[in-house]
Amino acid sequence: MQACGCKRNGQSLGHCLTAAASLAARLVRSAVQTGPARGSHSFRTVTCQNGWLPGGRHPPAGPCRDPAGRRQPRVSYGEAWFGMAVGKKSRKKIKNFALPGVALVPHTESKVGAHHSLNPKPPGLGSSPPADRPPGNRRNYNSTSPPLSGVLASVVLLALPLDRHGAEIYSPGVWIDFFFLLILGRFNRARAARLTLPHFTCQTPLFMPVGTQGTIKGLTTDQLEDIGCQIILGNTYHLELRPGSQLIDDLGGLHKFMNWKRALLTDSGGFQMVSLLHLADITEEGVTFQSPVDGKPMLLTPEESIHIQNNIGADIIMALDDVVKTTITGPRIEEAMHRTLRWIDRCIAAHKKPDVQNLFGIVQGGLDPVLRSYIRLITDYAIFPPNFRDICVRGLVERNLPGYAIGGLAGGEDKDSFWRVVAQCTAGLPENKPRYVMGVGYPLDIVVCSALGADMYDCVYPTRTARFGTALVPEGVLKLKQNAMATDERPIDPTCSCMVCKKYTRAYLHCLVTKDAMGSQLLSYHNLSFMMRLSRDLHMSILEGRFPEFVRGFLRAQFPKGDVPQWVRNAMEVAGIDISECCASAKCHAPSIQEQPLTVPVPVDADGVVQQN
């Protein structure tokens, strides 16, 4: 305020912000006109929430952060990609440059600059990243290439919404990265994206079946490919017990070991702190387990967890976190949150394969008995101090990890607390990184979490419930052990195109699940097919702009009497989806909570010039 003279001249802070936004707009236009010079920095500028885009497009949820992790106003749909010619003396200043209206983020730097372009044909589902070849008549340039300037060196996307377009950067001779999240579509907080991994390109939202020891019980990898499975989850603790991570490494990694050509994710082993609590002793060094196989002690430290996962070779690996039951309260929650942040630093230091494996951090912090409502989530932290989840989210984001998981849920907590924690965490995590809600497998939970901005899920529920003779259907579940199924000639789900529904009747499956192990295998196949189809439907409905209609249709099938649970109503209200027609109760109404700006919006015209009132 002193530097710009606002306080001295008695002018308001709003005037100061307006002037700053105007300066930012001029910088953008100047950079677009001049283009980058050789050796220049490449910046990504994000039009933030206090600078609305033409056409009144609303920004998505989630904060915008600069490279140091400092919180900036939230990202809007529009982005501009441009090069800025800067000298060595001014580079440091511009690198840390930030204004309320525009956040500048250094994106790529090379000795010869960076080639910026739209990619009209991004890698397709299941394909490898393409060679470094700019689209159209654009070309890569090397150390002998002349400096580029003008339009060829700058592609401006200020008028393009992120829900239909994505920008990718090509650098000389190298594809941008083997791991990136390209957001293809959006509805409010829900997003459909393409996640490129070393072994496979996935579509989100996605569900990951759990193969604890490198196998899905009763199914082959060919069958998993047939139903459209994109990622399988393996467990570090159990794989280390049998057959051992060193053996897996010696045999070429888990992909080759289990003959799986698509993506893999390995859990850190932290969940066993809860599931095997009676066999575990947790200290600052790590967690000591008593092996359920031979009774021998096993010390799992953050370093050892990463070492085991490096040997296994999964595309995504998880940091070891301090996991506590969701129903626990008191100082143990705070202890676990701070220890999780300390352990993530040890995991980062121990990670030997960051070029081929992506390390995700896990948000811990309990439910917080004074968990704030959505309105409080987007107000000033000075008025409402951050809770443990906020602190953990901030700490992980500062470490700039490839992705983030929300842990400590799906363990018996009430559903109202469940969705509020998901909403709170997704609002604080970066827009350009995957968000993984751990342990979630109920179809209703996945739809709600996707509406709140989550991308990835895992659970044993579809296969475990199959072993109990229960099939997943659009209306909920179908219990095939019931006597009424004994003479039913219909398929499990007439709308399902999986092999089981095409070939077998409910009566036949009723006979199998009561007398033959083949029944659980067939039901596992169907249930995972159902989950893969749900993932595809979520992705396509967001991409095609019909996500609200999909949600309403899903809820009508699940709750034909209109008895939608109150927690679902509350969550959809925050997600901005009107489900009043699905509810019998008059209390279920259209959304009244809107995405609120962190600061007062500064109106701008189509050229980015601030409009005066």
| Residues annotated in a binding site | 267-271, 321, 364, 408, 496, 498, 501, 526
**Shortest CA distance to 440 belongs to which of 423, 454, 425?**
454
Does residue 110 contact residue 132 with C-beta atoms inside 8 Å? no
Give the per-residue SS3 of 161-184: CCCCCCCEEEECCECCCCCEEEEE
Q: What is the DSSP string of 31-86?
A: HHHH-PPTT-EEEEEEEETTSPPTT-PPPPSS-EE-TT--EESPEEEEEEEEEE--
| Token pair in block for residue 324 | 């506590």
Q: Which of 565, 198, 556, 585 is nearest to 358 (CA)?
A: 198
Our CA dihedral for 88, 89, 94, 95, rounded to 10 degrees, sits at 60
- Three-state DSSP class for residue 193: strand
Contact indicator for 72, 63 with CB cutoff of 8 Å:
yes
Task: Give the torsion through C-alpha atoms of 149, 151, 155, 157, to 10 deg.
Answer: 140
- Element housing 106 (H / E): strand 102-108
Which of 322, 390, 458, 493 is catalytic? The answer is 458
Which residue of the set 163, 267, 315, 390 is catalytic? 267
d(CA 457, CA 435): 9
For the question of residue 267 being annotated catalytic, the response is yes
Task: Give dist(CA 198, CA 321) in Å, integer.
Answer: 25
Whole-angstrom Cα distance, residue 462 to residue 531? 8
Annotated binding site for substrate: 267-271, 321, 364, 408
> From the annotation, which residues make up the binding site for Zn(2+)?
496, 498, 501, 526
* Residues forming the active site: 267, 458
